[in-house]
Amino acid sequence: MITITASAAEEIKLSMQNPDTKGMPIRFAVEKTDEGLQYLMGFDERTDSDIHLESGGIEYIFAYSQKSLLDGMVVDFDEIDITNGYGFIFMNPNDPNYEPPQETIAPDKSSAPQ
């Protein structure tokens, strides 16, 4: 369903130390906008209409009605850009504006002159 990376899980666990959120699962939600999808997350109580799962040691929930929009999403915590610093990154193949991250490939040194 949703994959929470180790760095995102670490950041969420820090927030879970707050007495007001202790023991609560994190809720993921998405809203459709003119620009695409807007992602929301926060600690919340579970309801009967929620899907309740776990990833990276983090208990999470989302509304069953949003399953098709959130299925396969990866949540990471990393540097967004120089201006905004670090934050949560939502990599969702169901988002029409999603672009997979570009992997940096190290040059092949085996053909380099010696």
- 65 Cβ contact list (under 8 Å, min separation 6): 49
- The answer, yes or no, to whether residue 113 has pLDDT greater than 60, is no
Measure Cα distances from 27 to 30, 48, 66, 106, 110 in Å.
Answer: 10, 14, 11, 38, 48
Q: Which CATH class is domain 3-91?
A: mainly beta
Per cent of the chain over pLDDT 90 is 56
What is the per-residue pLDDT for 74?
Answer: 95
Q: What are phi and psi of 111, to 5 degrees?
A: -100, 5
Q: What are phi and psi of 69, to 5 degrees?
A: -85, -25
> Mind listing the pLDDT tens digit for each residue in 33-52?
888 889 999 999 999 999 99
In the chain, where the domains are located = 3-91
- The answer, yes or no, to whether residue 108 has pLDDT greater than 60, is no
